[in-house]
Amino acid sequence: MNKRVLVTTYAALLGLAVVAWIVVVRSPMDEDMAGMQMAMAPTIADGAGYVGAWAVMMAAMMLPSAAPMIALYATTQRTTGSPGAQAPAVIGFGLMYVMLWAATGVPVYFASLALMAVGPGTLAYVTAGVLLGAGLFQLSPLKQVCLRSCRSPLGFLLGHWRAGWHGALAMGWAHAAYCVGCCWALMIVLVVAGAMGLRWVLLLACVVAAEKLLPGGEWIARATGVALALLGLGVAVSPGLAAVLRGAG
């Protein structure tokens, strides 16, 4: 394994993640939502701005945990790809990953608009349902299947290898799909229960990284699921807790 390629790729990805975090901290998504709430009729420009901000936030949250996968792919290109195609293949792989997460911002935008029209009482029960549903998903076999693909870069490459530029795009898309499958419920919690608050962004980014990178990540996912389910039941019993959670953002 070429250590120089590995270190260079890690440095580039972590550098991008740091830049994305700086942007997120300087302009949190909850402030963008507050501005949109004041608008009588959101425009296409509002939607594009929201999706762009979501893409930056996803890059900040997801790139650190995706770095081992992209770095390992970069090292394979050092030995299997032609010299002129190595860098474009790695960039294409990573770009597909970011693009798929950016695309999830479109349904999130419309869901956020719908939440603005929901009264506080109804929103509390929506929040309870989201927390409980996310908790149950964290405990599901599908979560574990997606998480295993995220936690095993070598296994993913062996099972999905395709050569060339088109292969890089296909593998980048496949890996991103597993990542979205693994983390979509946590992102819904961020939108509904956390109101895009910076503290929730930081918390869930740490959960995602712990699930994917730390030993025993599968049990971290299960423990998170139990915590979310219990929190959902707590909100169902005491709806006022929903406002506390969203205010904590």
Does the pLDDT of residue 126 top 70, yes or no? yes
Return the structure tokens found at 50. Answer: 């929201």
Residue partners of 146: CB distance under 8 A and separation at least 6: 178, 179, 181, 182
**CA–CA separation, 12 and 14 (whole Å):** 6
* 30 close to 249: Cβ distance less than 8 angstroms: yes
* 127 close to 191: Cβ distance less than 8 angstroms: no
Mean pLDDT within 151-158: 90
Does the pLDDT of residue 45 top 90, yes or no? no
Nearest to 79 by CA among 15, 141, 157, 136: 157
Residue partners of 58: CB distance under 8 A and separation at least 6: 98, 101, 102, 104, 105
Mean pLDDT within 111-140: 92
* pTM score: 0.88
Model confidence at 43, pLDDT cuts 50, 70, 90, reads confident
* 89 close to 166: Cβ distance less than 8 angstroms: no
Which of the two residues, 5 and 43, has the higher pLDDT score? 43
Which of the two residues, 83 and 135, has the higher pLDDT score? 135
- Residue 120: what pLDDT? 82
- Domain residue extents for the chain: 3-247
Q: What is the pLDDT of residues 46-85, one digit of tens each?
A: 888 889 999 999 999 999 999 999 888 888 876 655 555 6
- Residue 82: what pLDDT? 59
